[in-house]
Amino acid sequence: MGTGHHALGAVHLQTLALEDADLPNRRYTIQGQSRPLDDLTHQAIQRYLDHRNRRWPSTANPHLLITQQTAHHDSPVSRWWLKAALRGQEASLDLLRQDRILDEVEAVGVRDPLHIAAVFGLRPDTAQRYVDAVYGRSATDLR
């Protein structure tokens, strides 16, 4: 399997729950699918949870990511907060997601848009455009 399983969109990041991260078994669940955690992501989540537990030890918020405001209720972080967290970085969440999708197309080595659609929760026609981008096909080539 390629590296595509780490291309979560903003909505999925916002709603990721604590129970979705199974650090002892190095897995996380997104959209009902259990996926492996690589070393970098595992360490990042562990460091964040250590910070979260020090900063808000009594929070009952079920979401993985919380802020000073959301720690006091059960709402997810805002989309604005996610964008602000990446401010000053060279890449946005959308660019990182696009990069991961293209990387998965290359890593799998199979021109299978249905695999890409399933892994990333894309519509099949959108997944086909990613496959076409990697393999240099255009709609006119298919006629």
Q: What is the model's pLDDT at position 2? A: 38
pTM check: above 0.95: no
Task: Give yes or no for residue 139 having a pLDDT over 60.
Answer: no
pLDDT value of position 7: 65
The per-residue pLDDT for 138 is: 54
Mean pLDDT of 71-78: 94
C-alpha span between 121 and 140 (Å, rounded): 26
More confident residue, 3 or 105: 105
Q: What is the pLDDT of residue 143?
A: 44
Q: Is residue 141 one of the residues assigned to a domain? A: no
How far is 78 from 69, CA to CA, in rounded Å? 10
pLDDT at 121 (0 to 100):
78
pLDDT digits (tens, 9 = 90+) for 18-73: 999 999 999 888 777 787 888 888 998 999 999 999 999 999 999 999 999 999 99
Give residue for tokens 């604005």: 80
Query: Is residue 81 in some structural domain?
Result: yes
Token readout for 56 is: 């808000």
Q: Is residue 140 in a domain?
A: no
Residue 139 in any domain: the answer is no
pLDDT for the residue 41 = 83
Q: How many domains does the chain have?
A: 1
Q: Give the residue numbers spanning the domain of 87.
A: 4-134
CA distances from 137 to 112, 128, 129 (A): 13, 10, 9
In a domain, 43, yes or no: yes
Task: Decide if 36 is inside a domain.
Answer: yes
